[in-house]
Amino acid sequence: MTKKKQTIFSGIQPSGNLTIGNYLGALKNWVELQAQYACLFSLVDLHTITVRQDPKEFYQHCYDVLAIYLAAGLDPEKSAIFLQSHVPAHSQLAWILNCYAYIGELSRMTQFKDKSKKHESNINIGLFAYPTLMAADILLYQTNLVPIGADQKQHLELARDLALRFNNIYGEVFTVPEVYHPPLGARIMSLQEPTKKMSKSDADSNAVIYILDPLDVIANKLKRAVTDSGKDIYFDVANKPGVANLLTILAVVTGKSVDQLVNEMQGQGYGKLKTAVAESLIEFLRPVQERYKQLRADQAYLNGVLKLGAERAIKISQPTLTKVYAVVGFVPTFV
């Protein structure tokens, strides 16, 4: 008897340009997970509008990010790849979970506090209820494992709490998800402030390498990357965060261990380290960028991927939503 694969769900907001942090910390790992797990990878566009978007740019970004997903190696034949807004059950379950989440626990979410400071003129209910929508994203598919960064850990804890709370009332309705801990490279830091995570919304373009940056721009950004005092090359996040970040990037794109790289780079100085990272990263991204250009030009193919992904996601999600509706007492639809 074939053992049923565990389910993994994850998603990225299709806003702005994706960074190498998105790629090395998420997409690269997702590609490797496809063979072992039943995977659903969403472009979480409902989450994106908690911050005001230019509609025309937003529309294009959805296709841009989809093409990056595919160029990175996500396979629509192996994984469900879809826009969150194309699966109505996300919004439907999110409303129900809103009725089981408490104002106090949502008020404690650090990401809500941080984003409220950044967007003081638009502190909306969607931003406040973002974690319940994320919980719906996860619980809808009876997800076993969720690959997330440290900044989303609090949200996953809420999803677990809501699943347990709901199950305690109505029986075993939801799978209680666990964190999937990816290997090295889960957290790529800013090139200018290496104690801070690399972010696509960073105002300093030199702090961020975008997946679609021209290759010469990537080299120049790495030349200007902040390192640390001293000359020795070793991995120490606390005392040498800049060097540790460069070693992490190099390790992920070359497949070598950090220890091996430290041995190879001994006595060569920070300049040589930056050059090694630039050369390896450029060769790593070159085929992705070429594949992206081909995919992005084929709108019909991209629409087909979205259609297939939404159909799969709807099929997988419907039994969960039907069970939730039944246990809370909703009258079944007659349409």
Q: How far apart are CA 286 and CA 275, in angstroms?
A: 16
Across the chain, where does the E strand assignment appear? 7-12, 38-43, 80-83, 145-147, 178-180
Within 8 A by CB and 6+ apart from 295, the residues are 67, 70, 71, 301, 302
Q: Which residue has the tokens 């106090």?
A: 104
**Per the residue annotation, which of 28, 78, 118, 200 is the catalytic one?**
200
To the nearest 10 degrees (0 to 180), the angle between helices 110-118 and 153-170 is 130
Q: How far apart are CA 258 and CA 89, in angstroms?
A: 43
- Tell me the backbone φ, ψ of residue 249, rounded to 5 degrees: -60, -45
115 included as an active-site residue: yes
Cβ contact 306:82 at 8 Å: yes
Helix (H) or strand (E) holding 316: helix 299-328
**Per the residue annotation, which of 28, 78, 117, 197 is the catalytic one?**
197
Q: Which of 138, 47, 127, 49 is nearest to 97 (CA)?
A: 138
Record the tokens describing residue 60, joined without a space. 């294009």
Record the tokens describing residue 258, joined without a space. 């950090």
Kind of pairing, strands 145-147 and 178-180?
A: parallel
3-state helix/strand/coil string of 158-185: HHHHHHHHHHHHHCCCCCCCEEECCCCC
- What is the residue type of 103? I
Q: How far apart are CA 177 and CA 32, in angstroms?
A: 20
**Per the residue annotation, which of 3, 5, 115, 272 is the catalytic one?**
115
Torsion sign, CA atoms 160, 163, 169, 171: negative
Q: How far apart are CA 5 and CA 168, in angstroms?
A: 26
Annotated catalytic sites, by residue? 115, 197, 200
